[in-house]
Amino acid sequence: MKLDSKIPEGHMSQKWENYKEHARLVNPANKRKLDIIVIGTGLAGASAAATLAELGYKVKAFCFQDSPRRAHSIAAQGGINSAKNYKNDGDSVYRLFYDTVKGGDFRSREANVHRLAEVSLNIIDQCTAQGVPFAREYGGLLDNRSFGGAQVSRTFYARGQTGQQLLLGAYQALERQIGLGNVKMYNRHEMLDIVTIDGKARGIIAKDLISGKLERHFGHAVLLCSGGYGNVFFLSTNAMGSNVTAAWRAYKRGAYFGNPCYTQIHPTCIPVSGEYQSKLTLMSESLRNDGRVWVPKKKEDCGKHPNEIKEEDRDYYLERKYPSFGNLCPRDIASRAAKEVCDEGRGVSASGRAVYLDFADAINRLGLDVVKARYGELFPMYQNITGHDPLKQPMMIYPAVHYTMGGLWVDYELMTSVPGLYALGEANFSDHGANRLGASALMQGLADGYFVIPYTIGNYLAGEIFTKAIPTDHPAFEEAEKQVRDRLNKLMNAKGDTPVDEYHKRLGKIMWEKCGMARHAEGLKEARKEIQELRTEYWKNVRVPGDINEFNPELDKAMRVADFMELGELMVMDALNRNESCGGHFRVEYQDNGEAKRNDEEYSYVAAWEFKGDNTEPELHKETLNFEEVQLAVRSYK
Amino acid sequence: MKINLKVWRQKNENTAGKMVDYSVNEVSPDMSILEMVDVLNDDLIRKGDDPIAFDHDCREGICGMCSMVVDGRPHGPQHGATTCQLYMRNYKDGDTIYLEPFRAHAFPVVKDLVVNRGAFDRIIAAGGFISVSTGQAQDANNLTVEKAVAERAMDVAACIGCGACVAACPNGSAMLFVSAKVSHLNQLPQGKPEASRRAINMVKQMDAEGFGRCSNVGACEAECPKEISITNIARLNREYLKAVFTSTEE
Ligand SMILES: Cc1cc2nc3c(=O)[nH]c(=O)nc-3n(C[C@H](O)[C@H](O)[C@H](O)COP(=O)(O)OP(=O)(O)OC[C@H]3O[C@@H](n4cnc5c(N)ncnc54)[C@H](O)[C@@H]3O)c2cc1C
Ligand code: SF4
Ligand code: FES
C-alpha cells in the first residue's frame, strides 16, 4: 500500500479550512445508525467519545481502569499550550506551529502541526466553559506560564494538576453523554484485538477484566486513544498500566507503526533508588522556570552536602552551554546534558546518576511564599518520596522515560493505514516529530478528540451509512477471538517459574541501556538479539498464577508484556535504521561535539513499519516530509 | 527491616474473606508500601501462591485508583496522602501492618483489596458536569472569574474520586465526594445555570446507590487525601434545600 497522508490543498494556514469546507457530512438521522468504538478515556478518548456522542453517533467507550476518570492523562502536571497570546508577548498560531516543528527537530508533518496550533485556541475556550479551574490573575482573567522550548508565555495551568482538571472536564462531558444514554461505557475492559472485515476495521475483541470473559463488539469505526508505550522501559513516568497492546494489535492487523524509536526522556524526574522501584516520578518541567540546574565543577565535590559547595565551584551547565534558553532548553537537550555530566563523573547522589535543581535564587528573588504557591503540590511530593525538603536544599533529579512521540502512523484525518481505524493522542505518531515540547501533549490529545476527529470521521462514515451492523458471529470475529484465547492459554500454560515483572524489568534494562538516551549501531544490534532471546524464554518460562476466567491482574500484565517484547524489537530496528541524530533519538555516531546531527538529505521522512508476519522482517515505508513553511535549520538553543 | 502483614484475602464478591499473615524481609525505607506488596507478590508467585490483588495505577497520588485501608485508616496514617504515597520510612523493623479493602455497602469487593466504585461514576453522570457541548464555548477571557473563587473551586476540584471518605464514614456516606463536585461547579459562574438541578440529581443518585446518610462524624475530612473540607457538606445541604424549595422541575 502506498502511504497517502491526504494533506489538503492550499496555503498552510488555509488547509484546515479547506478541508472542513469540503469534508463529507453525515446527516443526524444517519448518525444514530452508526456505531463508533473508542478505546481509551484519557484526554484524547474522553474528548472524542463525548463529542461524537453529542453529535449523535452511537458510542461505546472502553478503559482498563475502574473508571474513565483514572486514565493516565490525570497525572499531567505542568500545563497546556495555546496560541491565545493573552500575554501580548508576540505569540501567534504561526509561532506555536513554528516552535513545535522546530522543537520536534523537523521531523513532523507541517500540515498536522499547523492545524494543532489553530485549534489550540478553541481548546482553552471549551475547557473553561466546562468549568476547568485554570489559574487566574487578580483581574479574573486567565494566567499563563512559560515552558521549555518557547520564548513566550503560552501555557495555561491549574496548579500542578492541569492534566487532572482537563481530564475531569472531558470525563464529565463523557459522563453526561453516558447519563443521556448516548455512550455505553465499559470500565475494566481491555481491548485485545481489532477485527477487520474486507480490509476495514469493524470491531474489537475485549476482555472483561473482572470475569475474564472475552467479548465481541462491532463498530463502523474504531478509535484507538490508548496512550503511549513508555512502559516498554519498565521504569518510566507513566502509570503502571500504560501499555502498547491496543496499538500493537492494530499493527499486527495492518496498521503501520510510525517512528517507534522516538522516545522522550524527561530531564526532571526523581532518580532511581533501588531494584524494587516500580515507577519514576516526574517533577514538572515548570520547575525549570525558577529552578537552576547544576553539578559540582570538580568530581571531588560530588560527595559534599550541596549547600556547602561554593557558588564558584558549581557548574550551571545548561546556562553555560545554552545561554539564550538556559534552564528552559528543550527536554532532549537537557536530558542529554545531564547524562553527559554524570558520565564525566560529576553526578551527585549515592548512585552518581543525579544532578541538582536549585530553588535558592528564586526564593531570594521572589520569597518563599511565592515559590511555594507557584509549585503547589510538587515540593511536598518530592519531600514525601525522598525525605528531603527542596526549599532547604536543592532537589536531585535525573532523566527518565516519559513520552513516546512514535505511535501508529496516521494520515491528516487521523486514520491509520487500515480504513476505519483511527489513532488519537499519544497513541499516534502525528504532531511532535522527534521531540515533544512541554505542555503540547495535552493540547494534542484534546485537539484530536474535540476538534479534529469530529470533522474527519464524518468524511469516512458518510460512505458507511448503508453498512448494517455486522453480527458478531461473523467468521472474522470468531477468528480474532480464537487468537486472543490461544494467547491467553499459552501464557497460562507456560507454567514456568519466573514472574512477569522480572521479564519486564529485564526487557526494560536492555531498552534503557541500548535504546535509551544514547544509542549506537553495535548496541542496537546486540539489543535486538537479546530481546529475541528474552522473548523466547518468556513464552516458555513465565509463571502466571490464577485462572483465565477470573479477575487476574497478573494475566493482564502478562499479555501487555508479551506485546512490549515485540514492540521493543521494532523500536531497536527503527533506531538502527535511522542513521542520524534527531530530537529524542541520539545516535552517538552522528554528532557535532555532543549536539545532535541530523541528516536531512537522507532521513527527512517518517518511518512507517508494516507488519509482515511473525517470522518475517517488517517492511519500511517512507513518508517524505516536505517543508513548505519552515526552513530546515540546525536546531539551536544557544 | 522486616515487616509483618495481616492482609484481607477474598476470592471474589460472593465468597467470604479472612485475614492472612505474611511477612516481608529486607524492606527498604525508600520503598512505597505498594512496592513492598510488589515484593511480597513476587515471592508468592514464585512459591506458587496467589498474589494479593490491589488497585493502583499512577502511584503518585493523583489517579485515585489505589484504595486499601491501612491499619484501620483509608489510605493509611499519613495525612493528606494516598496509599501509594505512603513510604516505608514511616515504619520500623518488626512492625505489623493490617491491609484491608475499602469497606462500604456501595463498594462491593471484587477480590482481596480491590473494590467496585462504579457508583461514583453514576453520580457524576447524574449531574456532575456543565452542559456545554464541544464548540459552544465563547472566548475564555470573555468571562472573568474572581481569583479567589477560582482558587476555591480548584481546592475542591482536586478530589480524586478515590472513595476514602466513604470508607472512613461509619454510615458509608458519599457526601464529601458529592459536595466537592457540587462546590466546584456551583461556585463558578459557568456552573450557575444548572446549580439546582445538579445538586438535586446528584443527591438523588447518591441515595439510589445505597450510600448512607451524613451524620456529621467528620471522619471523611480526616481521611481525605486531598484535604477536602467538610464545610462543603454544609454548603451542599444549603444548596440542596434551596434547590428543593425553589425547583420548578419534577
Ligand atoms: C507524569 C506525567 C506528566 C505529564 N505532564 C504533561 C503536561 O504537563 N503537559 C502535557 O502536555 N503533557 C504532559 N504529559 C503527557 C500527557 O499527559 C500524555 O501524553 C497524555 O495525557 C496522553 O493522553 P491520551 O489520551 O493519549 O492517553 P492516556 O491518558 O494515557 O489514556 C489511555 C487510555 O487508554 C486506555 N487503554 C489503553 N490500552 C487499552 C486497551 N488495550 N483496552 C482498553 N483501554 C485501553 C486506558 O484505560 C486509558 O483510558 C505528562 C505525562 C506524564 C507521564
Ligand atoms: S472527597 Fe477526598 S476522600 Fe472523598 S473521593 Fe474525593 S479525594 Fe477521595
Ligand atoms: S495509584 Fe494513583 S492515586 Fe494511588
Q: Is it the case that residue A211 has pLDDT exceeding 60?
A: yes
| Shared-domain flag, residues A391 and A439 | no
- Give mean pLDDT, residues A248-273: 97
Residues 2-31 of B with CB under 8 A from A: 12, 28-31
Whole-number pLDDT of residue A206: 98
Shared domain check, A537 and A388: no
Its pTM surpasses 0.80: yes
Q: Is residue A431 part of a domain?
A: yes
Q: How confident is the model at residue A541 (pLDDT cuts 50, 70, 90)?
A: very high
A53/A177 same-domain check = yes
Q: How many CB atoms lie within 10 A of CB B216?
A: 9
Q: Measuring CA to CA, which residue among B16, A250, B15, B27 is closest to residue B5?
A: B27
H or E segment to which residue A264 belongs: strand A263-269
**Would the CB atoms of A165 and B145 count as touching at under 8 Å?**
no
Q: Is the pLDDT assigned to residue A22 strictly greater than 90? A: yes
Cβ <8 Å between B62 and A499:
no
A135 and A123 Cβ atoms separated by less than 8 Å:
no
Of the CA atoms within 13 Å of residue A254, those in its CB half-sphere come to: 18
A377 pLDDT higher than 80: no
User: Is A20 within the bounds of a domain?
Assistant: yes
Burial of A609 (0-12, 13-18, 19+ CB in 10 A): buried
A184 CA to centre of own chain: 26
Could you tell me if A165 and A224 lie in one domain? yes
Query: In this structure, is residue A359 part of a structural domain?
Result: yes
CA atoms of A60 and A74, how far apart (whole Å): 21
Q: Give the Cα separation of A176 and B29 in Å (integer).
A: 44
Is B209 in CB contact (< 8 Å) with chain A? no
Q: A279 and A215, same structural domain?
A: no
A324 closest CA partner among A583, A608, A637, A58: A637
* Predicted confidence (pLDDT) at residue A376 exceeds the cutoff of 80: no
Q: Chain B window 42-71: which residues touch A at a Cβ cutoff of 8 Å? A: 42, 44-46, 48-51, 53, 55-65
Residues of chain A with C-beta less than 8 angstroms from the C-beta of B125: 175-176, 178-179
In chain A, % of residues over pLDDT 70:
100
The whole-angstrom separation of Cα A473 and Cα A634 is 56
Q: Within this chain, do residues A190 and A277 fall inside the same structural domain, yes or no?
A: no
Confidence at B53, pLDDT banded by 50, 70, 90: very high
pLDDT above 80 (res A135): yes
Which candidate from B45, B116, B191 shows the least CB-CB separation from A545? B45
The pLDDT value given to residue A595: 82
CATH label of the domain that carries residue A233: 3.50.50.60
**Mean pLDDT on B212-241:** 96
Task: Give the distance from residue B165's alpha carbon to the nearest chain A alpha carbon, in angstroms.
Answer: 17
Partner-chain contact B34 A278, CB within 8 Å: yes
- Domains, chain B, ordered by start: 3-111 (3.10.20.30), 117-246 (1.10.1060.10)
Decide if pLDDT at B249 tops 70: no
CA distance A81 to A162: 11
Give residue B248's pLDDT band: very low, low, confident or very high (50, 70, 90): low
| pLDDT beyond 70 at B250 | no
Going by pLDDT thresholds of 50, 70 and 90, the confidence category of residue A50 is very high
* Residue A492 confidence (pLDDT) above 90: yes
Report whether A433 contacts A106 (CB < 8 A).
yes
A574, A535 contact by CB (below 8 A): no
Kindly state whether residues A174 and A254 are assigned to the same domain. Answer: yes
Go through A217-245 and write b for each residue having 16 or more CB atoms within 10 A of its CB, e for each that does not: bbbbbbbbbbbbbbbbbbbbbbbbbbbbb
Q: Do B137 and A125 touch (CB under 8 A)?
A: yes
Confidence (pLDDT) at A573: 98
pLDDT given at position A634: 80
Would you say residue A212 has pLDDT above 80? Answer: yes
**Within a domain: A330:** yes
A352-371 per-position pLDDT tens digit: 999 999 999 999 999 999 99
Contact B123, B205 (CB under 8 A): yes
Single out the residue of A403, A401, A379, A447 nearest to residue A80, CA to CA: A447
Closest by Cβ to A384, choosing from B29, B46, B85: B85
Position A629 in a domain: no
As a whole number of angstroms, the distance between CA A146 and CA A155 comes to 6
Is position A16 within any domain? Answer: yes
Nearest CA-CA partner of A35 in A201, A196, A193, A197 = A201
Instruction: Give the span between the Cα atoms of A302 and A305, in whole angstroms.
Output: 8
Assign residue A302 the CATH number of its domain. 3.90.700.10
Instruction: Supply the ipTM of this predicted assembly.
Output: 0.98
Domain match, A114 and A259 both: yes
User: What percent of chain B has a predicted confidence (pLDDT) above 70?
Assistant: 98
For A198-260, strand residue ranges (E) read 200-208, 214-218, 221-224, 257-258
CATH of the domain at A538: 1.20.58.100
Residue B5 confidence (pLDDT): 98
Nearest atom in ligand 2 to B74's CA: 3
**Same structural domain for residues A408 and A423?**
yes
- A548 and A457 in a single domain? The answer is no
**Which ligand minimizes its atom distance to the CA of B178?**
2
B117 neighbourhood in chain A, CB within 8 Å: 66-67
In angstroms, the CA A134 to CA A558 distance is: 39
Beta strands B109-111; A591-592: pairing state: unpaired
Query: How many domains does one find in chain A?
Result: 3
Q: Which pLDDT belongs to residue B217?
A: 95
Looking at residue A325, what is its pLDDT?
87
Cell numbers for A89: 508577548
What's the gap in Å between the CA of A180 and the closest CA on chain B?
A: 8
**A609 lies in some domain:** no
Range of the domain at A226: 12-264+403-461
pLDDT in tens, B172-216: 999 999 999 999 999 999 999 999 999 999 999 999 999 999 999
Residue A54 Cα, gap to closest chain B Cα (Å): 7
- A558 and A457 in one domain? no
From B140, which residue of chain A is nearest by alpha-carbon distance? A125
At A324, the pLDDT band (50, 70, 90 cuts) reads confident
Residue A178 clears pLDDT 90, i.e. is over it: yes
When pLDDT is averaged across residues A480-505 and rounded to a whole number, the result is 98
DSSP states of B46-109:
HTTPPPPP---SSSSSSS-----EETTEET-SSTT--GGG-BGGGS-TT-EEEEE---BTTB-E
pLDDT single digits (tens) A417-444 = 999 999 999 999 999 999 999 899 999 9
A433 and A489 together in one domain: no
Average pLDDT, chain B: 96
The DSSP bridge partners found for residue A397 are A355
- With vertex at residue A47, the alpha carbon angle to CA A124 and CA A443, rounded to the nearest 5 degrees, is 45
Residue A442 is assigned to a structural domain of this protein: yes
Asked whether residue A633 carries a pLDDT value surpassing 90, the answer given is no
User: Per the CB < 8 Å rule, is B38 touching A501?
Assistant: yes
| Integer Cα distance of A522 and A423 in angstroms | 33
Cell output for A623: 513518508
| Mean pLDDT computed over B209-224 | 96
